[in-house]
Amino acid sequence: MAVAEISVVPVGTDTASISDYVATALKIVEASGLKYELSSMATNLEGDLDSILEVFRKMHESAFEHGAVRALTALKIDDRRDKALTIEGKKAAVRAKLK
């Protein structure tokens, strides 16, 4: 299981606001069935690598389908093979060290 962070930034739009683009991309994530968490700057996904990459591509393409002429898309993947990763598990590991 992997955890990924995806950020899609549309460029060449009529407005500085990108919330419509984010909502369109998030609908793709929701339809995928993967566990996710929306943050203020990106979306975190949890699942198998093939599914994450499929969703990543659809999210990237959605910017163009929504009217952008350019998209800057960032992907970070944490893919451990020695134990399962989860979004909550990664946060809990840091919280435990704050005590």
* Residue pLDDT, tens place only, 32-83: 999 999 999 999 999 999 999 999 999 999 999 999 999 999 999 999 999 9
Q: What is the domain class of 2-98 according to CATH?
A: alpha beta
Locate 18 and state its tokens: 């990108």
Identify the CA nearest to 9 among candidates 41, 34, 38, 35.
41
- Determine the Cα–Cα distance for residues 78 and 9; give it in Å rounded to an integer: 21
Q: Helix (H) and strand (E) counts for the chain?
A: 3, 4
The 35-38 sheet, strands edge to edge? 35-38, 43-47, 2-11, 70-79
The string of pLDDT tens digits covering residues 15-28 is 999 999 999 999 99
